[in-house]
Amino acid sequence: MKARTFPGGIHPPGGKQLTEKKPIERATPPDRIVIPLSQHIGAPCKAVVKVGDLVKMGQKVGEAQGFVSVPVHSSVSGKVVAIGPFRHPMGNVQPAITIENDGKDDAAPPLAPLDPSTADPKSLIKRICELGVVGMGGATFPTHVKLSPPEEKPIDTVILNGTECEPYLTADHRMMLESPSRIIKGLEVVSRILGAKRAIIGIEGNKPDAIELMRKSVNGAGDIEVIELLVKYPQGGEKQLIKALTDREVPPPPGLPMDVGIVVQNTGTASAIADAIFDGKPLIERVTTVTGSGISEPKNLLVRIGTMASDLIAQCGGYKGDLGKLILGGPMMGIAQSTAEVPVCKGTSGILILTKQDSLMREPDPCIRCGRCVEVCPMNLRPYQMAVLIENERLNDAEAESVLACTECGCCSYTCPASRWLVHLFKSAKAQIMANRRKKKA
């Protein structure tokens, strides 16, 4: 059967060969961790510890503030030595809790396991929130919010996103190979909470071993299908995934997958959900791919949240060649960092290190109206037109051109022969429009 896909998109070089065959290794816990109070989309947490406190591994150190927020937990046992501003992977400075690791891994007692076949959905959702689960594909949207659609929006299908379409990253791939039943258990919890009759696991065709193993692993669970998708970026974007797998179209913003009866979860998130429900374990570690042409030994590492990127780079043999760029996330949607002294957060799927030669950037030229950006835009936008409007400070017109629908996938910038900084313009315009809206509301 022909692999399914969506209109638009690009085919960047994969880079996955560096780590796709490397089993997940447990990273050595650092002497010190830094837990940002905001590791999710929504209201930041409030610290519930103070400097000098002794904390256990898994203890809550930051309390959620409001519905769209989740708590954060310590990934080591030790002493709180600082609470204050620290560099964040988003590229800014945010409040964070620094804990000195005592090396004992003295764990807080886990919550009692829940049986999803008998527990009521509300208590399952409460548990997922309580243990700090967020979307781990990079979006970091609080999972309990996604699992609480309003009654008038029933969900009939859950999609598990196993595409990992960002070049270089292989954390989800390795998790599907090494803990398929854990992921499937998490998916079953999600289906049970939402009352969905159908579950689909979508995996790109460049992971034939994962497709085969997941098919074997779901054997017997008649309501779960594993579907192969064409290798194309951004196949893992929610809207593109939904279109490819179900032919349903999510309405433009503020439309959401729930408007077409679908909820999408990432493979790592499904695993974290299983940990929370079956083991009462908070989200304090994640698999992160450390890779690129500028690192000596690329690896997939199981990392304590709050570990510095610099610690992991050292555990991968250090830099190789001239350091050109350090990115948290993948090359398309990740965020370039000015220092490696930045902590791994719940959404850090990868640390990409590129040599100078591999990260050269051309100066932008004027647009030649070739239309390539329009052809590849998976959201059916006119990037060249939006860019001109933003450059001329016509934000209202850019909004009318649907700049808010831009998912910042980077396909337009990647393909532009004039090296225009398109996605950069769209990101700042979106931030400006949202700030203006907040100001107006206030």
Which residues contact ligand SF4 (rule: CB under 6 A)? 367-373, 376-377, 379, 381, 383-384, 406-412, 415-418, 420, 422-423, 426
Which CB atom, from 128 or from 381, has the smaller least distance to ligand SF4? Answer: 381
Q: How far is the CB of 411 from ligand SF4 (least distance, A)?
A: 4
Contact by Cβ (8 Å): 290, 351: yes
Instruction: Give dist(CA 38, CA 33) in Å, integer.
Output: 15
Query: Where does 120-207 have alpha helices with state H?
Result: 121-130, 143-146, 171-178, 180-194
Q: 190 vs 377, which CB is nearer to ligand SF4? A: 377
Residue 356: CB minimum distance to ligand SF4, A: 25
Q: By C-beta, is 115 or 363 nearer to ligand SF4?
A: 363
What value does the CA radius of gyration of the chain take, rounded to a whole number of Å?
Answer: 21
308 vs 332, which CB is nearer to ligand SF4?
332
Three-class SS state of 213: helix
DSSP H or E run through 440: helix 422-441
Look up residue 120 and give its two tokens. 């009521």
What's the DSSP call for residue 343? B
**Nearest distance, CB of residue 391 and ligand SF4, angstroms:** 11
Instruction: Work out how close the CB of 439 gets to ligand SF4 at its nearest, in angstroms, rounded to a whole number.
Output: 24
Strand-strand pairing, 198-204 and 224-229:
parallel
SS3 percent helix, strand, coil of the chain, rounded to 5, is: 30, 20, 50
The helix or strand, by DSSP H or E, that contains position 32, with its residue range, turns out to be strand 32-36
Q: CA–CA distance from 384 to each of 84, 315, 400, 413 (Å)?
A: 41, 43, 14, 10
CB of residue 244 vs ligand SF4: minimum separation in angstroms? 16
Instruction: Give least dist CB 334 to ligand SF4, A.
Output: 14
Of residues 136 and 409, the one with the C-beta less far from ligand SF4: 409
Q: Which is nearer to ligand SF4, 226 or 406 (CB)?
A: 406
Q: Between 323 and 336, name the residue whose CB sits nearer to ligand SF4.
A: 336
Helix count and strand count (H, E) for the chain: 13, 17
Q: Considering the complex, what minimum distance in angstroms separates the CB of residue 146 from ligand SF4?
A: 21
Q: Distance between CA 438 and CA 275 in Å, rounded?
A: 37
